[in-house]
Amino acid sequence: MLNRLTEDVREMLHEQVTYRELLVQMTRRDLMLRYKQTIMGFGWAIFMPLLNTVIFSVMFTRVAKLDTGMPYPLFAYCGLLVWNFFASSLRFALASLTANTSLVTKVYFPREIFPFSAVFVSVIDLAVGATILVGMMVYYRVPPTSTLLFLPVVLVVHVAFTAGMSLLLAMWNLFYRDVKYLFEVVLMLWMFASSVVYPVQLVGGKLGAVLQLNPMTPIIDAYRAVILEGRLPEPRAFAAAAALSFATLAYGWITFHRAEFEFAENV
């Protein structure tokens, strides 16, 4: 079993290196298709988290005041920006195989490229949306600190978890078409179970203990810590989230790779 696992990993990595140019081309194609014939173009990467920030800011600063330890719009926009990257990646990865049936059935290449390209396109959206976060930091006089050097580590962990979930969702949606109907409901519940628009730590009791198991919360908190609070993430929670993220990527990638020969039969 160990030998087979080693062979699978070696083959997967070799294929990604061999077909790296195709991944770049697919990412470019998906990026063009996402914003084709839209007036705002990349503006949509900014508009949605900004609009949601306004809505939640009114809710949690005027209706039900919430203490987050920082200006609430800054807290909310950072959380929504990070969450939108995760949600957008999963949303486009979900249909990445079923939307490319001709390529899946007729041409050989590692099918992981489809969900991976969805993640990389969303990384570009994340970078575009981050420009507004920089502007908000200037407005609220939140200076950058040396902890920003840890930001690439947080991003790598986030991308690993997102890529792993994207691979699993793309595969599940191909085999079980019910997945696409449940996806949006689960995603919405997952958002409110994460520290996106409010600190999950404020929830007590058994529900609070359950919410602490959500890997997205320490990842989102890690972004806020290194960008806005000038400190490193809480080590135990972030280390657990990192371990789970890479385990999810490994499991998702290996499972996806081993099931590839069945894809053409289920498209």
Q: Is 233 inside a domain boundary? A: yes
Give a yes or no: residue 78 inside a domain: yes
Residue 4 lies in a domain: no
Range(s) of the domain holding residue 89: 21-266
Mean pLDDT of each 10-residue bin along the chain, 267 residues long: 72 82 86 70 76 86 78 94 95 88 76 92 92 94 94 97 96 87 93 91 81 92 96 95 96 90 70
Length of the chain: 267
Residue 100 resides in a domain: yes
Distance (Å, whole) CA 41 – CA 28: 14
pLDDT of residue 166: 96
DSSP-assigned states of every residue in 57-116: HHIIIIIS----SS-HHHHHHHHHHHHHHHHHHHHHHHTTTGGGHHHHHHS-S-TTHHHH
Return the DSSP state at 175.
Answer: H
- Which pLDDT does position 220 carry in this prediction? 96
User: With b meaning 16 or more CB within 10 Å and e meaning fewer, what string describes 152-188?
Assistant: eebbebbbbbbbbbbbbbbbbbbeeeebeeebeeeee
Quote the pLDDT of residue 99.
82
Asked if the structure places residue 180 within a domain, the reply is: yes
Q: Is residue 181 part of a domain?
A: yes
Give a yes or no: residue 16 inside a domain: no
pLDDT for the residue 225: 96
Residue 180's pLDDT is: 86
Q: Let me know if residue 9 belongs to a domain.
A: no
Q: Considering its fold, how many domains does the chain have in total?
A: 1
